[in-house]
Amino acid sequence: MAVWSAPGKVFLFGEHAVVYGKPGIAMAIKPRVYVTVRKTRHPPRVKSPYLEKCFELMGVNGSVYIHSQLPSSSGLGSSAAVTVATLSAINDEYGLGHTKSDIASMAHSVEKSVQKGRASATDTYVSTFGGVLLIQGDIKRRLPPEDFHLVIGNTMVSHSTARMVEQVSKFRATDPDIVNPILDAIEAVTMRSLHVFQDQRALGRYMDINHELLEALGVGHPALTRLVTAARAAGAYGAKITGAGGGGSMVALCPKRSKSKIAGAIEGCDGRAIITTIDNEGARKEKEDERNRTDKTGR
Ligand code: MEV
């Protein structure tokens, strides 16, 4: 039996634009997914297309048990974390000898096949390696870890990343003159943010601009607007949609002293708040007694 875990993530800058080869900055966060894989002769069937693909890609069968601290379909990279932890646990249980880089690329190909070819490597790389990463196509650069205090607001409005990515792609096909400049502007904001990474007030202003550009792309939602506005009013340096949008979550960059107040403001607008910070570990092997915390999903 092998037990592995992998963290969720937030996009600080550049979601959707990364799908078109633009740069994006994402950070691994503390909540994680725990996966137990066990060799079995008669594995039960799995319903999740991500798990199905993981076993298919590794060419083995087994049972899998999942315990998640990340709400699913909420823009926090739970499917990438499940994929990364499952591939890592299969690799370990069957002694397949894949490196962390192999796991990251395999996880990306699993995401791509489930999301019909449209998935950047961001979620899977950040979940595998942890930390803050600048991702642009095949280039992945680790940025110095910053002590950011984040408050995430989950709207509890479920969304589908694949559907939101497809919506943007259709908008771009019908109105390239509108959408391409928005993607260029997101790229400019992402690149400018690198110059002010230590100045959280300035970084927050760029997050606000990135949010408005995502609204212009059509991936906003009234519930996201409510939480973003509440977080800013309660003292956040900046706040924006994180992930695919259309529901899901927003993220606020906060002064340390204000994070409880900002979390309270989000909860006051019917959001679920998560106060969190950076995870620098990425995918990691857990002790076997981790199984006591796992829920069976079957395979
Ligand atoms: C989803 O977390 C982020 C998107 O940019 C899609 C992707 O990068 O694959 C919307």
Q: What is the pLDDT of residues 237-280, one digit of tens each?
A: 999 999 999 999 999 999 999 999 999 999 999 999 999 999 99
pTM score, two decimals?
A: 0.92
| Intra-chain end-to-end CA distance of the chain, in Å | 14
Q: Which listed residue (123, 175, 177, 184) is catalytic? A: 123
The secondary structure element, H or E, covering residue 114 is helix 100-114
- Name the residue of 12, 50, 122 to mutate for ligand 1: max ligand atoms within 8 A of Cβ: 122
Query: Residue 275 class from Cβ within 10 Å (0-12 exposed, 13-18 middle, 19+ buried)?
Result: middle
Atom 9 (ligand 1) nearest CA: 119
Sequence ranges of the binding site: 71-81
Cα–Cα distance for residue pair 129/141, rounded to 1 Å: 11
* Segment 141-159 mean pLDDT: 93
CATH 3.30.70.890 is right for the domain spanning 149-276: yes
In the block, tokens 């950070």 appear at 27
Tens digits of per-residue pLDDT, 103-149? 999 999 999 988 777 788 999 999 999 999 999 988 999 998 888 99
State the fold for domain 2-145+283-296. Answer: Ribosomal Protein S5; domain 2 (3.30.230)
The domain locations on the chain are: 2-145+283-296, 149-276
- For this structure, is 123 an active site residue? yes
Q: How far apart are CA 146 and CA 175, in angstroms?
A: 38
Residue 289: which pLDDT band, with cuts at 50, 70 and 90?
low
Work out which ligand 1 atom sits closest to the CA atom of 122.
8
- 3 state SS for 185-234: HHHHHHHHHHHCCCCHHHHHHHHHHHHHHHHHHCCCCHHHHHHHHHHHHC
**Which of 12, 19, 133, 160 best tests ligand 1's pocket when mutated (most atoms within 8 Å of CB)?**
19
Query: 293 CA to middle of ligand 1, Å?
Result: 29
One-character DSSP codes across 38-59: E--SSPPPP--HHHHHHHHHHT
The per-residue pLDDT of the chain, averaged, comes to 93
**Binding-site residues, ligand 1, Cβ < 6 A:** 15-16, 18-19, 119-120, 122-123, 161, 165, 243-244
